[in-house]
């Protein structure tokens, strides 16, 4: 098959897949998880039910794929934020604030509990842990962050501390949480 044809088919498949994920997320947000069926999703996406089943086995598989796309987009967002910031201290501050805001918006719902059982979540957490760990190591080398505790332990500390953002009432409270968490990362006074 000519290359253009393959590329077009591939682009079409991605578009159908993306449209399915968007439609499913919108339906679940509007009607709740229990009310959403494969027929309803096919109708909303504007594809046949048989076609939908060629892409996904069930609603659960679509939700997992949707969540994986969300998680990947969060990770890309955090990487972009790091690349925009200047020195290691500023990079860490901006990344931790962005992570806390994601946690703040991602309230612990029934859906969250379901989605977080997916295998992609463990992979993403591992990735996030390493990403923050590298920022902490750079900050320690630059002398702006503490170097008396291993970056891996500091990464666990700040990722756990910032999940408190999910139950905070406002963005201002999230920013205070970030500044308190960062205070724990500064070099101790001697």
Question: Which residues in this chain contact a second copy in the complex, by CB under 8 A?
Answer: 146, 149, 153-154, 156-164, 167-168, 173, 176-177, 180-186, 188
Q: Which is nearer to a second copy, 95 or 185 (CB)?
A: 185
Nearest-angstrom CA–CA distance, 48 and 42 = 6
Structure token pair of residue 190? 């001697």
- Structure tokens that stand for 172 in this block: 């201002």
Q: How far is the CB of 126 from a second copy (least distance, A)?
A: 12
* Min dist. Cβ of residue 47 to a second copy (A): 37
Closest to a second copy by CB, 55 vs 131, is 131
Q: What is the closest distance, in whole angstroms, from the C-beta atom of residue 127 to a second copy in the complex?
A: 16
Our CB check for a second copy shows the closer of 76 and 160 to be 160
* Closest to a second copy by CB, 51 or 167: 167
Closest approach of Cβ 80 to a second copy, in Å?
26
What string of H, E and C letters represents the secondary structure of 82-114? HHHCCCHHHHHHHHHHHHHHHHHHCCCCHHHHH
CA 109 vs CA 101, 115, 159: distances in Å: 16, 10, 20
Residue that is written with structure tokens 């039910």 in the block? 49
CB 121 within 8 A of CB 112: no
């Amino acid at each position: 098959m000519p290359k253009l044809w393959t590329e077009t088919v591939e682009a079409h498949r991605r578009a159908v897949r993306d449209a399915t994920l968007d439609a499913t997320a919108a339906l679940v947000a509007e009607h709740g998880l229990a009310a959403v069926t494969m027929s309803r999703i096919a109708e909303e996406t504007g594809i046949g039910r048989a076609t939908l089943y060629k892409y996904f086995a069930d609603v659960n598989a679509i939700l997992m794929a949707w969540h994986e796309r969300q998680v990947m987009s969060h990770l890309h967002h955090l990487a972009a934020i790091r690349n925009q910031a200047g020195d290691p201290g500023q990079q860490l501050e901006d990344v931790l604030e962005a992570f806390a805001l994601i946690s703040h918006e991602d309230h612990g719902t029934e859906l969250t509990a379901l989605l977080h059982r997916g295998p992609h979540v463990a992979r993403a957490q591992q990735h996030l842990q390493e990403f923050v760990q590298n920022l902490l190591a750079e900050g320690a080398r630059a002398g702006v962050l503490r170097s008396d505790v291993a970056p891996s332990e500091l990464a666990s500390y700040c990722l756990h501390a910032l999940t408190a953002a999910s139950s905070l009432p406002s963005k201002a409270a999230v920013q205070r949480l970030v500044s308190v968490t960062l205070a724990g990362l500064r070099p101790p006074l001697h």
